[in-house]
Protein backbone atom coordinates (compact mmCIF):
# COMPACT_ATOMS: atom_id res chain seq x y z
CA UNK A 1 0.00 0.00 0.00
CA UNK A 2 1.68 3.25 -1.07
CA UNK A 3 2.24 5.83 1.60
CA UNK A 4 -0.53 8.41 1.82
CA UNK A 5 1.56 11.26 3.28
CA UNK A 6 0.84 14.63 1.66
CA UNK A 7 3.59 16.84 3.07
CA UNK A 8 6.43 18.38 1.12
CA UNK A 9 9.92 17.23 2.03
CA UNK A 10 12.85 19.33 0.79
CA UNK A 11 16.27 17.70 0.67
CA UNK A 12 18.96 20.36 0.86
CA UNK A 13 18.83 23.56 2.91
CA UNK A 14 20.85 25.91 0.74
CA UNK A 15 19.55 28.95 -1.13
CA UNK A 16 17.24 26.82 -3.29
CA UNK A 17 15.82 24.60 -0.54
CA UNK A 18 15.43 27.44 1.95
CA UNK A 19 13.67 29.58 -0.64
CA UNK A 20 11.35 26.73 -1.64
CA UNK A 21 10.20 26.29 1.97
CA UNK A 22 9.45 30.02 2.25
CA UNK A 23 7.65 30.19 -1.11
CA UNK A 24 5.44 27.20 -0.23
CA UNK A 25 4.15 29.09 2.80
CA UNK A 26 3.94 32.37 0.86
CA UNK A 27 1.83 30.66 -1.79
CA UNK A 28 -0.53 29.24 0.83
CA UNK A 29 0.61 25.63 1.17
CA UNK A 30 -1.27 24.28 4.21
CA UNK A 31 0.39 20.87 4.51
CA UNK A 32 3.57 19.92 6.29
CA UNK A 33 6.93 21.27 5.10
CA UNK A 34 10.14 19.53 6.19
CA UNK A 35 13.49 21.03 5.25
CA UNK A 36 16.51 18.74 5.59
CA UNK A 37 20.04 20.15 5.58
CA UNK A 38 23.39 18.45 6.09
CA UNK A 39 25.02 21.61 7.47
CA UNK A 40 24.58 22.68 11.09
CA UNK A 41 23.16 26.12 10.31
CA UNK A 42 19.94 27.51 8.85
CA UNK A 43 19.94 28.32 5.12
CA UNK A 44 22.33 31.13 4.26
CA UNK A 45 23.63 32.99 1.23
CA UNK A 46 26.84 31.56 -0.17
CA UNK A 47 27.91 34.41 -2.49
CA UNK A 48 29.22 36.63 0.35
CA UNK A 49 31.47 33.81 1.64
CA UNK A 50 34.21 34.70 -0.86
CA UNK A 51 33.75 38.44 -0.31
CA UNK A 52 32.21 40.15 2.75
CA UNK A 53 32.60 37.05 4.95
CA UNK A 54 36.32 36.63 4.18
CA UNK A 55 36.89 40.34 4.70
CA UNK A 56 35.09 40.18 8.04
CA UNK A 57 32.41 42.72 7.10
CA UNK A 58 29.44 40.35 7.45
CA UNK A 59 28.13 38.24 10.35
CA UNK A 60 26.38 34.87 9.93
CA UNK A 61 23.08 36.61 10.77
CA UNK A 62 23.65 38.92 7.76
CA UNK A 63 24.08 35.86 5.58
CA UNK A 64 21.01 33.98 6.82
CA UNK A 65 18.29 33.72 4.19
CA UNK A 66 15.65 34.21 6.87
CA UNK A 67 15.99 34.71 10.64
CA UNK A 68 16.07 31.48 12.66
CA UNK A 69 12.58 32.06 14.13
CA UNK A 70 11.07 32.35 10.63
CA UNK A 71 10.93 28.57 10.28
CA UNK A 72 9.12 27.89 13.55
CA UNK A 73 6.79 30.85 12.93
CA UNK A 74 5.92 29.41 9.53
CA UNK A 75 5.57 25.82 10.73
CA UNK A 76 8.56 24.61 8.71
CA UNK A 77 10.22 21.61 10.32
CA UNK A 78 13.95 22.16 9.80
CA UNK A 79 16.26 19.22 10.40
CA UNK A 80 19.84 20.43 10.38
CA UNK A 81 22.93 18.24 10.43
CA UNK A 82 20.85 15.54 8.73
CA UNK A 83 21.78 13.56 5.65
CA UNK A 84 19.60 11.55 3.30
CA UNK A 85 20.82 8.16 2.13
CA UNK A 86 18.11 7.01 -0.30
CA UNK A 87 14.78 7.74 -1.97
CA UNK A 88 12.21 4.94 -2.21
CA UNK A 89 9.92 6.20 -4.98
CA UNK A 90 7.50 3.29 -4.82
CA UNK A 91 6.82 3.85 -1.12
CA UNK A 92 7.32 7.63 -1.37
CA UNK A 93 9.69 7.71 1.57
CA UNK A 94 13.24 8.91 2.02
CA UNK A 95 15.77 7.22 4.27
CA UNK A 96 17.80 9.48 6.54
CA UNK A 97 21.43 8.89 7.40
CA UNK A 98 20.47 7.66 10.87
CA UNK A 99 18.12 5.02 9.40
CA UNK A 100 14.87 6.90 10.08
CA UNK A 101 12.38 7.01 7.18
CA UNK A 102 10.29 10.01 6.29
CA UNK A 103 7.22 9.90 4.03
CA UNK A 104 6.56 12.56 1.41
CA UNK A 105 3.68 13.63 -0.77
CA UNK A 106 5.99 15.74 -2.89
CA UNK A 107 9.76 15.72 -2.70
CA UNK A 108 11.98 18.63 -3.71
CA UNK A 109 15.64 17.81 -4.33
CA UNK A 110 17.84 20.84 -3.69
CA UNK A 111 21.08 19.00 -3.14
CA UNK A 112 23.37 21.61 -4.69
CA UNK A 113 26.67 20.96 -6.36
CA UNK A 114 29.71 18.97 -5.47
CA UNK A 115 33.14 20.57 -5.75
CA UNK A 116 35.60 19.00 -8.17
CA UNK A 117 38.66 17.59 -6.47
CA UNK A 118 42.11 18.24 -7.83
CA UNK A 119 43.46 14.81 -8.80
CA UNK A 120 47.06 15.34 -7.70
CA UNK A 121 49.31 14.04 -4.90
CA UNK A 122 49.52 16.11 -1.74
CA UNK A 123 45.82 16.93 -1.30
CA UNK A 124 46.06 15.62 2.28
CA UNK A 125 48.59 18.31 3.24
CA UNK A 126 47.49 21.19 5.48
CA UNK A 127 46.10 23.60 4.60
CA UNK A 128 44.64 22.58 1.25
CA UNK A 129 41.23 24.24 1.27
CA UNK A 130 38.10 24.63 -0.83
CA UNK A 131 35.08 26.93 -0.59
CA UNK A 132 31.53 25.71 -0.34
CA UNK A 133 30.32 26.26 3.23
CA UNK A 134 30.75 28.89 5.92
CA UNK A 135 33.13 26.51 7.72
CA UNK A 136 35.26 26.26 4.56
CA UNK A 137 35.29 30.05 4.41
CA UNK A 138 36.41 30.26 8.04
CA UNK A 139 39.36 27.98 7.27
CA UNK A 140 40.38 30.22 4.37
CA UNK A 141 39.87 33.34 6.45
CA UNK A 142 42.32 32.02 9.05
CA UNK A 143 45.02 32.02 6.36
CA UNK A 144 44.43 35.56 5.14
CA UNK A 145 47.04 37.44 7.11
CA UNK A 146 49.31 40.12 5.70
CA UNK A 147 52.32 38.45 4.16
CA UNK A 148 50.86 34.94 4.07
CA UNK A 149 51.30 33.37 0.65
CA UNK A 150 48.07 31.95 -0.74
CA UNK A 151 48.01 29.79 -3.86
CA UNK A 152 44.64 29.62 -5.58
CA UNK A 153 44.16 26.79 -8.05
CA UNK A 154 41.52 27.80 -10.60
CA UNK A 155 40.89 31.18 -12.19
CA UNK A 156 37.08 31.05 -12.16
CA UNK A 157 34.74 33.40 -10.31
CA UNK A 158 35.19 31.81 -6.88
CA UNK A 159 38.99 31.72 -7.17
CA UNK A 160 39.17 35.31 -8.37
CA UNK A 161 36.83 36.58 -5.67
CA UNK A 162 38.94 34.84 -3.02
CA UNK A 163 42.06 36.29 -4.67
CA UNK A 164 40.63 39.83 -4.49
CA UNK A 165 39.56 39.45 -0.86
CA UNK A 166 42.89 37.90 0.15
CA UNK A 167 44.89 40.59 -1.60
CA UNK A 168 42.73 43.30 -0.01
CA UNK A 169 43.63 41.81 3.39
CA UNK A 170 47.33 41.95 2.54
CA UNK A 171 48.07 38.35 1.63
CA UNK A 172 50.39 37.46 -1.26
CA UNK A 173 48.32 35.72 -3.90
CA UNK A 174 49.15 33.50 -6.86
CA UNK A 175 46.33 32.24 -9.10
CA UNK A 176 47.08 29.16 -11.20
CA UNK A 177 44.84 28.59 -14.19
CA UNK A 178 45.09 25.61 -16.52
CA UNK A 179 43.47 27.38 -19.49
CA UNK A 180 45.20 30.12 -21.50
CA UNK A 181 42.92 32.76 -19.97
CA UNK A 182 40.95 33.48 -16.79
CA UNK A 183 37.24 32.65 -16.62
CA UNK A 184 37.78 30.57 -19.77
CA UNK A 185 34.52 28.62 -19.52
CA UNK A 186 32.28 31.52 -18.60
CA UNK A 187 33.53 34.84 -19.98
CA UNK A 188 34.45 36.45 -23.29
CA UNK A 189 38.10 37.06 -24.10
CA UNK A 190 37.65 40.82 -23.63
CA UNK A 191 36.32 40.32 -20.10
CA UNK A 192 39.03 37.75 -19.29
CA UNK A 193 41.75 40.15 -20.38
CA UNK A 194 40.32 43.05 -18.41
CA UNK A 195 39.98 40.96 -15.25
CA UNK A 196 43.56 39.70 -15.71
CA UNK A 197 44.91 43.25 -16.05
CA UNK A 198 42.99 44.46 -13.02
CA UNK A 199 44.12 41.64 -10.75
CA UNK A 200 47.66 42.09 -12.05
CA UNK A 201 47.56 45.81 -11.23
CA UNK A 202 46.52 44.94 -7.66
CA UNK A 203 49.50 42.64 -7.22
CA UNK A 204 47.84 39.27 -7.81
CA UNK A 205 50.28 37.02 -9.67
CA UNK A 206 48.51 34.96 -12.31
CA UNK A 207 49.95 31.91 -14.04
CA UNK A 208 47.94 30.99 -17.14
CA UNK A 209 48.21 27.72 -19.03
CA UNK A 210 49.72 26.18 -15.91
CA UNK A 211 48.72 22.78 -14.55
CA UNK A 212 49.32 21.68 -10.99
CA UNK A 213 51.18 18.37 -10.84
CA UNK A 214 51.38 18.07 -7.05
CA UNK A 215 50.98 19.95 -3.81
CA UNK A 216 54.32 19.93 -2.04
CA UNK A 217 54.87 19.64 1.69
CA UNK A 218 57.58 19.98 4.33
CA UNK A 219 57.55 16.33 5.38
CA UNK A 220 55.54 17.22 8.46
CA UNK A 221 52.25 17.49 6.59
CA UNK A 222 52.37 21.26 5.98
CA UNK A 223 52.00 22.84 2.55
CA UNK A 224 55.11 24.48 1.14
CA UNK A 225 53.81 25.18 -2.35
CA UNK A 226 52.76 23.53 -5.58
CA UNK A 227 54.67 21.85 -8.37
CA UNK A 228 53.56 22.71 -11.88
CA UNK A 229 53.51 20.25 -14.76
CA UNK A 230 56.19 22.35 -16.53
CA UNK A 231 58.57 21.63 -13.66
CA UNK A 232 58.37 24.98 -11.90
CA UNK A 233 57.65 25.26 -8.19
CA UNK A 234 55.48 27.97 -6.67
CA UNK A 235 56.03 28.52 -2.97
CA UNK A 236 53.12 29.19 -0.66
CA UNK A 237 51.70 28.68 2.82
CA UNK A 238 48.18 27.58 1.87
CA UNK A 239 46.33 26.28 -1.18
CA UNK A 240 42.72 26.99 -2.11
CA UNK A 241 41.23 24.82 -4.86
CA UNK A 242 38.36 26.27 -6.89
CA UNK A 243 38.08 24.29 -10.12
CA UNK A 244 34.34 24.06 -10.53
CA UNK A 245 31.60 21.72 -9.46
CA UNK A 246 29.17 19.15 -10.77
CA UNK A 247 25.51 18.66 -9.93
CA UNK A 248 24.94 16.64 -6.77
CA UNK A 249 22.62 14.09 -8.36
CA UNK A 250 23.74 10.84 -6.67
CA UNK A 251 20.49 10.34 -4.72
CA UNK A 252 18.41 11.00 -7.81
CA UNK A 253 20.50 8.65 -9.97
CA UNK A 254 20.29 5.87 -7.40
CA UNK A 255 16.51 6.35 -7.37
CA UNK A 256 16.36 6.03 -11.17
CA UNK A 257 15.39 9.64 -11.97
CA UNK A 258 16.54 10.85 -15.38
CA UNK A 259 19.89 12.61 -14.98
CA UNK A 260 22.39 14.09 -17.40
CA UNK A 261 24.83 16.64 -15.97
CA UNK A 262 22.37 17.09 -13.11
CA UNK A 263 18.78 16.02 -12.52
CA UNK A 264 16.66 16.67 -15.62
CA UNK A 265 13.72 18.99 -14.98
CA UNK A 266 11.12 20.82 -17.06
CA UNK A 267 10.05 24.47 -16.91
CA UNK A 268 8.19 23.80 -13.66
CA UNK A 269 11.19 22.07 -12.03
CA UNK A 270 9.52 18.66 -12.36
CA UNK A 271 11.75 15.59 -12.66
CA UNK A 272 10.86 12.38 -14.50
CA UNK A 273 8.86 11.37 -11.38
CA UNK A 274 5.62 13.41 -11.04
CA UNK A 275 6.04 13.58 -7.25
CA UNK A 276 9.62 14.80 -7.31
CA UNK A 277 11.06 18.21 -8.19
CA UNK A 278 14.70 19.30 -8.46
CA UNK A 279 15.87 22.90 -8.08
CA UNK A 280 19.08 24.92 -8.03
CA UNK A 281 22.61 23.75 -8.78
CA UNK A 282 21.69 20.04 -8.83
CA UNK A 283 19.18 20.38 -11.65
CA UNK A 284 19.60 20.49 -15.40
CA UNK A 285 16.80 22.66 -16.76
CA UNK A 286 15.24 23.67 -20.02
CA UNK A 287 16.37 27.10 -21.17
CA UNK A 288 13.71 27.99 -23.71
CA UNK A 289 15.51 31.20 -24.69
CA UNK A 290 18.39 29.14 -26.09
CA UNK A 291 16.66 25.86 -27.00
CA UNK A 292 19.05 24.05 -24.74
CA UNK A 293 19.11 22.19 -21.45
CA UNK A 294 21.79 23.10 -18.99
CA UNK A 295 22.79 23.28 -15.36
CA UNK A 296 23.09 26.78 -13.91
CA UNK A 297 24.99 27.54 -10.71
CA UNK A 298 23.57 30.80 -9.48
CA UNK A 299 21.39 32.29 -6.78
CA UNK A 300 18.81 33.70 -9.22
CA UNK A 301 18.45 30.25 -10.77
CA UNK A 302 17.97 28.70 -7.31
CA UNK A 303 15.31 31.25 -6.38
CA UNK A 304 13.53 31.02 -9.74
CA UNK A 305 13.30 27.24 -9.65
CA UNK A 306 12.27 27.28 -5.97
CA UNK A 307 9.39 29.50 -7.06
CA UNK A 308 8.55 27.19 -9.97
CA UNK A 309 8.37 24.11 -7.75
CA UNK A 310 6.38 25.88 -5.02
CA UNK A 311 3.96 27.33 -7.61
CA UNK A 312 3.39 23.95 -9.21
CA UNK A 313 2.84 22.24 -5.85
CA UNK A 314 0.39 24.95 -4.79
CA UNK A 315 -1.50 24.76 -8.09
CA UNK A 316 -0.45 28.28 -9.15
CA UNK A 317 0.62 29.07 -12.70
CA UNK A 318 4.39 28.83 -13.12
CA UNK A 319 6.01 32.11 -14.19
CA UNK A 320 7.71 32.39 -17.57
CA UNK A 321 11.43 31.71 -17.47
CA UNK A 322 13.73 34.61 -16.61
CA UNK A 323 16.89 35.60 -18.42
CA UNK A 324 19.74 33.91 -16.48
CA UNK A 325 21.97 36.41 -14.72
CA UNK A 326 25.11 36.40 -12.59
CA UNK A 327 27.25 38.87 -10.72
CA UNK A 328 30.71 39.00 -9.19
CA UNK A 329 32.52 41.65 -7.15
CA UNK A 330 36.34 41.71 -7.30
CA UNK A 331 38.26 44.68 -5.91
CA UNK A 332 36.40 47.73 -7.30
CA UNK A 333 35.05 45.79 -10.28
CA UNK A 334 31.40 44.91 -10.39
CA UNK A 335 30.87 42.28 -13.06
CA UNK A 336 27.28 41.70 -14.16
CA UNK A 337 26.36 39.15 -16.76
CA UNK A 338 22.98 38.28 -18.32
CA UNK A 339 22.05 35.62 -20.83
CA UNK A 340 24.38 32.98 -22.23
CA UNK A 341 26.59 33.39 -25.30
CA UNK A 342 25.23 30.53 -27.41
CA UNK A 343 25.27 30.67 -31.23
CA UNK A 344 27.10 33.99 -31.21
CA UNK A 345 28.31 35.46 -34.51
CA UNK A 346 29.29 38.98 -33.39
CA UNK A 347 30.55 40.52 -30.19
CA UNK A 348 30.10 44.25 -29.71
CA UNK A 349 32.12 46.35 -27.30
CA UNK A 350 30.35 49.35 -25.80
CA UNK A 351 32.57 51.67 -23.79
CA UNK A 352 36.33 51.60 -23.32
CA UNK A 353 37.97 48.94 -21.11
CA UNK A 354 40.76 51.43 -20.37
CA UNK A 355 38.25 53.52 -18.38
CA UNK A 356 37.27 50.48 -16.32
CA UNK A 357 33.69 50.74 -17.59
CA UNK A 358 32.52 48.73 -20.56
CA UNK A 359 30.10 46.09 -21.74
CA UNK A 360 30.41 43.25 -24.20
CA UNK A 361 27.24 42.27 -26.06
CA UNK A 362 26.96 38.90 -27.79
CA UNK A 363 24.75 38.77 -30.89
CA UNK A 364 23.57 36.02 -33.18
CA UNK A 365 24.05 36.39 -36.93
CA UNK A 366 20.66 38.06 -37.24
CA UNK A 367 21.56 40.65 -34.55
CA UNK A 368 19.52 39.00 -31.79
CA UNK A 369 21.10 39.79 -28.41
CA UNK A 370 22.05 36.55 -26.63
CA UNK A 371 24.18 37.76 -23.71
CA UNK A 372 25.81 40.78 -22.12
CA UNK A 373 28.82 41.11 -19.81
CA UNK A 374 29.26 44.44 -18.07
CA UNK A 375 32.10 45.82 -15.95
CA UNK A 376 31.02 48.75 -13.76
CA UNK A 377 28.36 49.51 -16.34
CA UNK A 378 25.08 48.54 -14.71
CA UNK A 379 22.70 50.35 -17.10
CA UNK A 380 24.15 48.38 -20.03
CA UNK A 381 23.71 45.17 -18.06
CA UNK A 382 20.11 45.96 -17.14
CA UNK A 383 19.30 47.10 -20.68
CA UNK A 384 20.97 43.94 -21.99
CA UNK A 385 18.71 41.83 -19.78
CA UNK A 386 15.69 43.50 -21.35
CA UNK A 387 17.04 43.09 -24.90
CA UNK A 388 17.81 39.41 -24.33
CA UNK A 389 14.39 38.71 -22.80
CA UNK A 390 12.65 40.37 -25.74
CA UNK A 391 14.94 38.64 -28.27
CA UNK A 392 15.60 42.09 -29.69
CA UNK A 393 17.45 42.53 -32.96
CA UNK A 394 20.04 45.29 -32.68
CA UNK A 395 22.34 46.94 -35.18
CA UNK A 396 25.89 46.26 -33.92
CA UNK A 397 27.14 49.67 -35.06
CA UNK A 398 24.50 51.52 -33.05
CA UNK A 399 25.10 49.32 -30.02
CA UNK A 400 28.82 50.15 -30.07
CA UNK A 401 28.17 53.89 -30.38
CA UNK A 402 28.06 55.35 -26.86
CA UNK A 403 26.78 58.67 -28.22
CA UNK A 404 23.48 56.87 -28.84
CA UNK A 405 21.68 56.62 -25.50
CA UNK A 406 20.70 53.12 -24.40
CA UNK A 407 17.08 54.22 -24.13
CA UNK A 408 16.99 54.74 -27.90
CA UNK A 409 18.34 51.24 -28.45
CA UNK A 410 15.51 49.78 -26.42
CA UNK A 411 12.80 51.38 -28.59
CA UNK B 1 10.52 48.82 16.47
CA UNK B 2 9.63 50.59 13.22
CA UNK B 3 6.56 49.39 11.38
CA UNK B 4 6.54 49.22 7.61
CA UNK B 5 3.54 48.52 5.38
CA UNK B 6 3.92 46.86 2.00
CA UNK B 7 1.04 47.27 -0.44
CA UNK B 8 1.03 44.71 -3.21
CA UNK B 9 0.24 45.61 -6.82
CA UNK B 10 -3.21 44.10 -6.24
CA UNK B 11 -3.71 46.38 -3.22
CA UNK B 12 -3.17 43.91 -0.37
CA UNK B 13 -1.40 45.40 2.66
CA UNK B 14 1.15 43.60 4.88
CA UNK B 15 2.41 45.45 7.94
CA UNK B 16 5.50 44.17 9.73
CA UNK B 17 7.52 45.27 12.76
CA UNK B 18 11.29 45.07 12.49
CA UNK B 19 14.32 46.16 14.53
CA UNK B 20 15.92 49.54 13.78
CA UNK B 21 18.64 49.10 11.17
CA UNK B 22 16.77 46.47 9.16
CA UNK B 23 16.50 47.31 5.48
CA UNK B 24 13.11 47.50 3.77
CA UNK B 25 14.15 44.47 1.69
CA UNK B 26 15.04 42.37 4.78
CA UNK B 27 11.83 43.50 6.49
CA UNK B 28 9.85 41.93 3.63
CA UNK B 29 11.99 38.80 3.19
CA UNK B 30 12.27 38.04 6.93
CA UNK B 31 8.50 38.21 7.27
CA UNK B 32 7.57 36.33 4.12
CA UNK B 33 5.94 39.34 2.42
CA UNK B 34 5.19 38.22 -1.14
CA UNK B 35 6.68 40.11 -4.07
CA UNK B 36 10.14 40.90 -2.71
CA UNK B 37 12.73 38.17 -3.18
CA UNK B 38 15.99 39.98 -2.48
CA UNK B 39 18.02 37.52 -4.58
CA UNK B 40 21.38 39.22 -4.13
CA UNK B 41 21.03 39.64 -0.38
CA UNK B 42 21.23 43.43 -0.43
CA UNK B 43 24.22 43.98 -2.71
CA UNK B 44 22.30 46.31 -5.04
CA UNK B 45 22.95 43.77 -7.79
CA UNK B 46 19.54 42.38 -8.73
CA UNK B 47 16.62 44.83 -8.49
CA UNK B 48 14.31 42.17 -7.03
CA UNK B 49 13.36 44.51 -4.16
CA UNK B 50 11.96 47.31 -6.33
CA UNK B 51 9.39 49.43 -4.42
CA UNK B 52 7.60 52.75 -4.77
CA UNK B 53 7.78 55.24 -1.92
CA UNK B 54 4.55 57.03 -1.02
CA UNK B 55 4.91 60.80 -1.60
CA UNK B 56 4.75 61.78 2.09
CA UNK B 57 7.75 59.55 2.88
CA UNK B 58 10.05 60.56 0.06
CA UNK B 59 11.85 63.29 2.01
CA UNK B 60 12.61 60.88 4.88
CA UNK B 61 13.77 57.96 2.75
CA UNK B 62 16.19 60.19 0.85
CA UNK B 63 17.57 59.88 -2.65
CA UNK B 64 18.74 56.90 -4.64
CA UNK B 65 22.43 56.05 -4.60
CA UNK B 66 24.22 56.04 -7.95
CA UNK B 67 24.43 52.24 -8.06
CA UNK B 68 20.74 52.06 -7.26
CA UNK B 69 19.84 54.55 -10.03
CA UNK B 70 21.85 52.49 -12.47
CA UNK B 71 19.93 49.33 -11.52
CA UNK B 72 16.57 51.06 -11.69
CA UNK B 73 17.09 52.91 -14.97
CA UNK B 74 16.11 49.88 -17.02
CA UNK B 75 14.16 47.88 -14.45
CA UNK B 76 10.55 47.06 -15.30
CA UNK B 77 8.05 49.78 -14.42
CA UNK B 78 10.47 52.27 -12.86
CA UNK B 79 8.83 55.54 -11.75
CA UNK B 80 10.30 58.70 -10.23
CA UNK B 81 9.51 57.33 -6.73
CA UNK B 82 11.13 53.93 -7.38
CA UNK B 83 13.73 52.70 -4.90
CA UNK B 84 15.48 49.44 -4.09
CA UNK B 85 14.36 48.24 -0.67
CA UNK B 86 17.84 46.98 0.18
CA UNK B 87 19.18 50.54 0.13
CA UNK B 88 16.77 51.94 2.75
CA UNK B 89 17.50 51.23 6.43
CA UNK B 90 14.57 51.54 8.78
CA UNK B 91 15.04 54.06 11.58
CA UNK B 92 12.70 55.43 14.24
CA UNK B 93 12.02 58.33 11.84
CA UNK B 94 10.71 55.86 9.26
CA UNK B 95 8.27 54.21 11.68
CA UNK B 96 5.01 53.82 9.76
CA UNK B 97 6.63 53.87 6.30
CA UNK B 98 4.33 52.74 3.50
CA UNK B 99 5.69 51.38 0.23
CA UNK B 100 3.96 50.00 -2.84
CA UNK B 101 5.16 47.13 -4.97
CA UNK B 102 5.36 46.85 -8.75
CA UNK B 103 3.55 44.15 -10.69
CA UNK B 104 6.71 42.06 -11.04
CA UNK B 105 10.39 42.24 -10.16
CA UNK B 106 12.22 42.01 -13.47
Q: What is the pLDDT of residue A1?
A: 42
- Nearest-Cα distance to chain A for B75, in Å, is 7
Reply yes or no on whether the pLDDT at A197 is more than 50.
yes
Q: Best mutation site among A378, A384, A411 for testing chain B: the one with the most B CBs within 10 Å?
A: A378
Average pLDDT, chain A: 96
pLDDT interval class at A158 (50, 70, 90): very high
Q: What is the arithmetic mean of pLDDT over A125-149?
A: 96
**What CATH code would you report for A332-409?**
3.30.390.30
Reply yes or no on whether the pLDDT at A375 is more than 70.
yes
Q: What is the pLDDT of residue A2?
A: 46
pLDDT interval class at B104 (50, 70, 90): confident
> Rounded to whole angstroms, how far apart are CA atoms B41 and A45?
7
Q: Nearest to residue A105, comparing CAs of A96, A116, A94, A95?
A: A94
- Nearest-Cα distance to chain B for A344, in Å, is 24
* Contact (CB<8Å) B74/A383: yes
Angle between helices A189-201 and A157-168 (to 10 degrees): 20
Helix (H, G, I), strand (E, B) or coil at A139: helix
Nearest C-alpha in A relative to B75: A382
Comparing A5 with A207, the larger pLDDT belongs to A207
> Rounded to whole angstroms, how far apart are CA atoms B4 and B13?
10
Angle between helices A299-313 and A15-26 (to 10 degrees): 40
pLDDT, one tens digit per residue, over A45-78 is 999 999 999 999 998 889 999 999 999 999 999 9
pTM: 0.96
**Which strands form A93-96's sheet, in the order they lie side by side?**
A84-88, A93-96, A101-103
Q: What is the pLDDT of residue A130?
A: 98
Chain B contact set for A327 (CB, 8 A) = 40, 43, 45-46
- Nearest-Cα distance to chain B for A70, in Å, is 7
> Rounded to whole angstroms, how far apart are CA atoms A113 and B67?
31
CB neighbours of residue A72 within 10 Å: 10
pLDDT, one tens digit per residue, over A260-293 is 999 999 999 999 999 999 999 999 999 989 999 9
Beta carbons within 8 Å of A200's beta carbon, 6+ residues apart: A206
Q: Which residues of A touch B (CB under 8 A)?
A: 19, 22, 25-26, 45, 47-48, 63, 65-67, 70, 74, 299-300, 303, 307, 322, 325, 327, 329, 334, 336, 378-379, 382-383, 385-386, 389, 406, 410
**Which strands form A238-241's sheet, in the order they lie side by side?**
A128-130, A238-241, A149-153, A172-176, A205-207
Q: What is the pLDDT of residue B106?
A: 59
Q: What is the pLDDT of residue A3?
A: 55
Q: What is the arithmetic mean of pLDDT over A211-238?
A: 97
| Beta strand segments in A283-345, E | 283-287, 292-294, 325-330, 333-339
Chain A contact set for B18 (CB, 8 A) = none
Chain B contact set for A26 (CB, 8 A) = 32, 34
CATH of A4-114+247-313, one of 3.50.50.60, 1.10.540.10, 3.40.50.1370, 3.40.190.10: 3.50.50.60
Q: What is the pLDDT of residue A411?
A: 76
- Nearest-Cα distance to chain A for B31, in Å, is 7
Q: What is the arithmetic mean of pLDDT over A196-215?
A: 98
Helix (H, G, I), strand (E, B) or coil at A83: coil
Q: What is the pLDDT of residue A5?
A: 79
A401: phi > 0 → left, psi -120 to 50 → alpha, else beta; which? beta
Largest CA distance in chain A: 70
* Contact (CB<8Å) B37/A303: yes
User: Do the beta carbons of residue A399 and residue A361 sit within 8 Å?
Assistant: yes
Chain A contact set for B106 (CB, 8 A) = 322, 385, 389
pLDDT, one tens digit per residue, over A339-360 is 999 999 999 999 999 999 999 9
Domain(s) of CATH 3.50.50.60: residues in chain A: 4-114+247-313, 128-243
A22, A74, A299 member nearest B39 (Cβ): A299
Name the strand (E) or helix (H) holding B29.
helix B24-30
Quote the CATH superfamily of domain A128-243.
FAD/NAD(P)-binding domain (3.50.50.60)
ipTM beyond cut 0.90:
yes
Long-range CB contacts for residues A330-333, cutoff 8 Å, separation at least 24 = A330/A160, A330/A161, A330/A163, A330/A164, A330/A195, A330/A198, A330/A199, A331/A164, A331/A167, A331/A168, A331/A198, A331/A199, A331/A202, A332/A356, A332/A376, A333/A195, A333/A198, A333/A375, A333/A376
Kindly state the percentage of chain A with pLDDT values over 70: 99
Reply yes or no on whether the pLDDT at A4 is more than 80.
no
Beta carbons within 8 Å of A31's beta carbon, 6+ residues apart: A6, A7, A8, A105
> Rounded to whole angstroms, how far apart are CA atoms A382 and B84?
14
User: Do the beta carbons of residue A171 and residue A145 sit within 8 Å?
Assistant: yes
Nearest C-alpha in B relative to A409: B74
Q: What is the pLDDT of residue B63?
A: 94
Domain(s) of CATH 3.30.390.30: residues in chain A: 332-409
Chain A contact set for B73 (CB, 8 A) = 378-379, 382-383
Q: Where would I find the H helices in A118-249? A: 134-141, 157-168, 189-201
> Rounded to whole angstroms, how far apart are CA atoms B30 and B1?
14
Q: Give the lowest-confidence range in A4-8, B62-66, B73-77.
A: A4-8
Amino acid sequence: MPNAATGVVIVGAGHAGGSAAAFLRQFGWQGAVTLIGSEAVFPYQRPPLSKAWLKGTAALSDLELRPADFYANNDIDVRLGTTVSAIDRAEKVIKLGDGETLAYGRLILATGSKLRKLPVPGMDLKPVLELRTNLDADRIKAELQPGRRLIIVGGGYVGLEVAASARTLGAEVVVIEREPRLLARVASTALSEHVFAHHDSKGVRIELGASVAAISGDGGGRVTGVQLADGRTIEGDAVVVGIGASGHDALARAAGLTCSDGIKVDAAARTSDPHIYAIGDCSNRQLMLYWRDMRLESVPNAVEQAKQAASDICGKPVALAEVPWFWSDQFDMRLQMAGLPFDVATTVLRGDPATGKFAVFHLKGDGCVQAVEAVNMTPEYMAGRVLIGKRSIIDPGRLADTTIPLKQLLL
Amino acid sequence: MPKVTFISHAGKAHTVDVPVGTTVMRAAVDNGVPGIDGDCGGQCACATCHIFIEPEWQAKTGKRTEAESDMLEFADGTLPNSRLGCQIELTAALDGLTVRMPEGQH
